[in-house]
Amino acid sequence: MIVGLIVLIAVNLIILSVVNRRSASYAPGRVAFSIVSPFQRATARSIRLFREVWAHYFFLVSAAKERDNLKKEVSRGIEKNNQFIETELSNLRLRSLLSFEKTVDSSLLAAEVIGKDPSPWFKTMIINKGMADGVEKGFPVVVSEGLVGQIVDVSTNYAKVLLLVDHNSAVDSMVQRSRARGIVKGESATRFIFKYVLNKEDVKTGDNVISSGLDGVFPKGLRIGAVTAIQQRRSGIFQEVVVKPYVDFEKLEEVLVLLK
Could you give the residue ranges of the DSSP H alpha helices within the chain? 2-23, 27-101
Convert 174-189 to b/e letters by CB count within 10 Å (16 or more is b).
bbeeeebbbbbbbeee
Please name which of 113, 215, 216 lies closest in space to residue 159, comparing C-alpha atoms.
Answer: 113
The single-letter code of the amino acid at 248 is D
Instruction: Identify the weakest region by mean pLDDT among 144-158, 193-207, 233-247.
Output: 233-247
pLDDT over 60 (residue 11): no
| Higher local confidence (pLDDT), 64 or 40 | 64
Band of the pLDDT at 226, cuts 50, 70, 90? very high
Number of domains observed in the structure of the chain: 2
Domain boundary among 53, 73, 103: 103
Band of the pLDDT at 105, cuts 50, 70, 90? low
| Higher local confidence (pLDDT), 13 or 189 | 189
Domain boundary among 69, 103, 137: 103
pLDDT tens-digit readout, 16-38: 555 455 444 444 545 554 555 56
Q: Residue 165 maps to which CATH number?
A: 2.40.10.340
pLDDT over 90 (residue 135): yes
> Across residues 156-167, what is the average pLDDT?
95
Domain containing residue 21: 1-103
Whether the full predicted model's pTM is greater than 0.75, yes or no, is no
The single-letter code of the amino acid at 236 is G
Cβ 255 vs Cβ 148: under 8 Å: yes
Cβ 114 vs Cβ 126: under 8 Å: yes
Cβ 173 vs Cβ 211: under 8 Å: yes
DSSP label of 134 = T
**Are residues 248 and 235 part of one domain?**
yes
Kindly report the number of other CB atoms within 10 A of residue 231's CB atom: 8
pLDDT over 80 (residue 200): yes
DSSP label of 234 = S
**Are residues 193 and 206 part of one domain?**
yes
> Across residues 42-59, what is the average pLDDT?
65
The alpha carbons of the chain give a radius of gyration, in whole angstroms, of 41
pLDDT given at position 117: 83
**Are residues 92 and 172 part of one domain?**
no
**Are residues 187 and 235 part of one domain?**
yes
Domain boundary among 56, 86, 103: 103
